[in-house]
Structure 1
């Protein structure tokens, strides 16, 4: 997660960057979902059944807290399909854990919106294009209008809500309109995710955009983040699953704010790029613990081994390699002067294409000339 707007503001104004004390967990509490999205990493199933009991969830919440996991994104499937979702979120908050909700928005209604706002610090609703594109991509007619209505309902009740958008060949024609939509609705955040080759995303590799297109879009994202800052517009721009975006931001600062480059570089090093297995983890509905939601391997199962024993071990080779600073990544990363900023990008994408966890991220759009030491 690359907090673009926050970095721009904090660097220009010489402020401390917003940070989270501890680790972030994305917890897929259920694999049930009413939609069938083309990029779904968990292959959610409308006929699925919940395996995790409330007691098991509460037990693991305590173990998360003991392991300094202080921020949890509740996801699925569709997390609002769980009848105990509010009890789960409330218990997390009682234990001092910040809660976010990742939802398709279709189950947010007048009769539960206050509970949602009371139990979640922020609600992210997925919008994957203008109406026709969104409905096609998510596999259900009227899913767009229901998601938009959910955003308006949360805003009406003074909740914090943002839009989550994934760039693919199917959604790219709506890319620029997502910014227009955010401005029209005045949402709190626009989270733009790059495709990761996992779940249905792996089965649909042909829906990914080219490196040239990706770079063009990222430059526009940076343009808009600067525009919102300069105009005082309160829309937070965040990108996901493409840590190389930080290098394009750094290059932009070299042109716009050369006197601030050293400060930004220091902030980016402290951020550390891809944090899978270090400050980021995933728990899925089957009990598997992974370094991130897309990771091709589990590092343990919390039904079999207590979570804190899985996460806090020094004996897991994958975790040890992920936690090296910087990581030892092959390919062009070996020559890259920015490795201590991006940390090699997505290991899931590397494995999906090469079969090697430690190969370069195949989606990296930086050229060899850009990443080599200047002589």
Structure 2
């Protein structure tokens, strides 16, 4: 997760950046879902049966805290399909774990909206384009209107939901219109996720955009972030699953704000790029623990071994190598001067294309000349 707006603001104002105190876990507590989204990494659908029981979750929560997990994103499937979702969140609070909700919004109603706002520190609702695009991509007519209604309902009750958007060939026609929607709805966070090849996303490699279009969109996102900052708009732009965006921001600063470049460079190296297996992890509905939700391999099962033993194991080979900084990545990353900023990007994409976890991220859109700094160039 690259907090673009926060970095612009704190760099230009020479103030501390927002930092993550502890690790964050994305917990897929169910694989049941009322939608059939084309990019779904868990291949969730309505016919899945509940496999993870409340008592198993209850016993696991204290072990998360012992392992340094301070944030949990409730995900799925659709997490609001669990009838015990609020009881689980309350247990998290009792263990001083901050909770976020990632939802399609279709189960947010006047009856539960206040409870949702009071329970979760952040609510992210997925909208993948204008009406026709979203409904096609998520395979249900009317899902767009229901998601919009959910955002408005949350706002009416005093909350503020953010929008999550996944950038693919099927959704890119709505890319620019999404910013108009964000401004019209006055949401305070817009999360733009790049596609990772996993689940149905792996089966649909052909829905990913070209590197040229990706670069065009990232440049626009950066320009928008500066525009919102200068206008004093409280819209936080965040990108996900494409750590090379940070290098693009650095290059923008080099051109337009050279006096702040060193400050930004320091912030970016402190951020450290891709953090799968380190500050980010995933737990699924079968008990599997993975470095991130898209990862092709597991590092243990929290139903068979305490989570703290899995996550805190400094000798687990995969976790050990993922936690190296910067990571040792082959291919063009091996000669890149910005590896300590992006940390190699997505290992899941690398594996999906090359069969090797430690090859370059195939979605990197930076040119050879850009990743090699001239000998007389310093930061």
TM above 0.5, yes or no, is yes
CA deviation digits over 1:30-58, x for unaligned, max 9?
00000000000000021111111111111
Alignment partners' CA distance in 2, 1:318 and 1:104: 32
Contact 2:151 2:160 in 1 (8 A): no
Contact 1:26 1:74 in 2 (8 A): yes
Query: Residue 110 of structure 1 aligns to a residue in which SS?
Result: coil
Matches within 5 A, 1:243-322: 243-322=243-322
Q: Establish whether residue 146 from structure 1 lines up as the match of residue 146 from structure 2.
A: yes
- Matched with 1:108 is 108
Contact 2:195 2:201 in 1 (8 A): yes
Q: Establish whether residue 124 from structure 1 lines up as the match of residue 128 from structure 2.
A: no
Which stretch shifts more, 232-241 or 46-55? 46-55
Alignment partners' CA distance in 2, 1:134 and 1:181: 13
Q: Identify unmatched segments of 5+ residues in structure 1.
A: none
What's the CA shift for 1:91? 1.2
- Matched with 1:370 is 370
Alignment partners' CA distance in 2, 1:20 and 1:96: 15
- Matched with 2:20 is 20
Contact 1:121 1:160 in 2 (8 A): no
What's the CA shift for 1:264? 0.3
What's the CA shift for 1:94? 1.8
Alignment partners' CA distance in 2, 1:106 and 1:200: 21
- Matched with 1:240 is 240
Q: Establish whether residue 159 from structure 1 lines up as the match of residue 167 from structure 2.
A: no
- Size of the aligned set, in residue pairs, is 375
What's the CA shift for 1:223? 0.5
- Matched with 1:183 is 183
Query: Residue 363 of structure 1 aligns to a residue in which SS?
Result: coil
Alignment partners' CA distance in 1, 2:68 and 2:119: 20
Matches within 5 A, 1:68-83: 68-83=68-83
What's the CA shift for 1:197? 0.2
- Matched with 2:59 is 59
What's the CA shift for 1:315? 2.0
Query: Residue 155 of structure 1 aligns to a residue in which SS?
Result: helix
- Matched with 2:213 is 213
- Matched with 1:348 is 348
Q: TM-score, normalised by structure 1?
A: 0.99
Alignment partners' CA distance in 1, 2:246 and 2:314: 30
Alignment partners' CA distance in 1, 2:358 and 2:66: 30
What's the CA shift for 1:102? 0.2
Alignment partners' CA distance in 1, 2:169 and 2:267: 33
Q: Identify unmatched segments of 5+ residues in structure 2.
A: none
Q: TM-score, normalised by structure 2?
A: 0.98
Q: Establish whether residue 42 from structure 1 lines up as the match of residue 38 from structure 2.
A: no
What's the CA shift for 1:373? 3.0
Alignment partners' CA distance in 2, 1:166 and 1:224: 17
Alignment partners' CA distance in 2, 1:315 and 1:272: 21
Query: Residue 2 of structure 1 aligns to a residue in which SS?
Result: coil
Alignment partners' CA distance in 2, 1:164 and 1:363: 20
What's the CA shift for 1:196? 0.1
- Matched with 1:325 is 325
Query: Residue 228 of structure 2 aligns to a residue in which SS?
Result: helix
- Structure 1 runs of 4+ with >6 Å offset: none
